[in-house]
Amino acid sequence: MRRLFIFGLGYTAGFIATLFEAQGWEVISTGSEGTLAFDDEGSVRLALADADHVLSCVPPGSEGRGEPLDFVLERYGNALKGKALSYLSSTGVYGDTGGAWVDESAPVVSGTGTGRRTARAEADAEWLAMGARVYRLPGIYGPGRSMLERVAQDRAHRIDLPGQVFSRVHAEDIAAGVLAGIGASAGAYNLADDLPCPQNWVVEEACRLTGAPLPPLLGLEEAQLSPMARAFYAENRRVANGKARRVLGWRPRYPTYVEGLAALARDQRDH
């Protein structure tokens, strides 16, 4: 039986673990839903020694608060040398491109600082230097974490920002991409759906599926968004997935938000 070790078993990694287990893998993990404590160093190192593949889903730290850039590499990097590695990163490493398409050849943000985007880009580079398959992910959605829930909870916003587009990906498609990449060459891979689009389109489709009224169209200042939400709207880019399709043979089960939301709505009705 092949063994996958996951650092940081949370929402997205849960889909990865489920898919790998269905393929006959044993999964050992740290994290909120994991089987080992991250700081149980003896047990973690024993499990890493037996692992056929190691996946880190742990986000970078904040050097401004005295945290290491990458918790996993700082503590266990010496145990990962020579291992087959994967890392979940973010398409935020590309920064704002004004709506232009980006693929894996695009430059990533650079410079020094304590910003989350810079820390992510530096951690991304460290994992690449370790020989990992680095999966750069846009906005993630899936069961229990989609626009359907935000509409139902009256937390959805329609923002009047013409030309603003985002990419997204279903959590199940991330899992499929990581599985497809097990035997692939090290390097960066974008896992994103086929249709970057305005967030308003997703809100409107969720309202159509649920019968909820459309939220009002507001300016960015009127919406009184949280700092995290404002940061989301501060970037504008289209993420290309051609390399993952070509090299990994990956095909998203949910190529656009339309198929993804429809499947989630069906699951909600069935349960």
pLDDT tens-digit profile of 90-141?
999 999 999 999 999 999 986 544 456 688 899 999 999 999 999 999 999 9
Q: What are 270's two structure tokens?
A: 């069935």
Helix axes 41-50 and 71-80, enclosed angle (nearest 10)? 50
pTM: 0.95
Q: What percentage of the chain has pLDDT greater than the value 90?
A: 85
- Helix or strand run (H / E) with residue 230: helix 227-233
- Mean pLDDT, the chain, rounded, equals 94
CATH architecture designation of domain 3-270: 3-Layer(aba) Sandwich (3.40)
186-232 pLDDT tens trace: 999 999 999 999 999 999 999 999 999 999 999 988 888 888 888 88
Residues 56-61: what's their mean pLDDT?
Answer: 92
Task: Specify the length of the chain in residues.
Answer: 271
Helices (H), the chain: 11-22, 41-50, 71-80, 116-129, 147-152, 171-180, 199-210, 227-233, 242-243, 257-270
Mean pLDDT along residues 80-96: 96
* Three-class secondary structure of residue 112 per DSSP: coil
Closest CA to 2 of 39, 55, 42: 55
* Residues 173-195: tens digit of each pLDDT: 999 999 999 999 999 999 999 99
Q: How far apart are CA 9 and CA 32, in angstroms?
A: 6
**Dihedral angle at the C-alpha atoms of 177, 182, 187, 193, nearest 10 degrees?**
0
pLDDT at 256 over 60: yes
Q: For the residues 73-99, what does the mean pLDDT come to?
A: 96
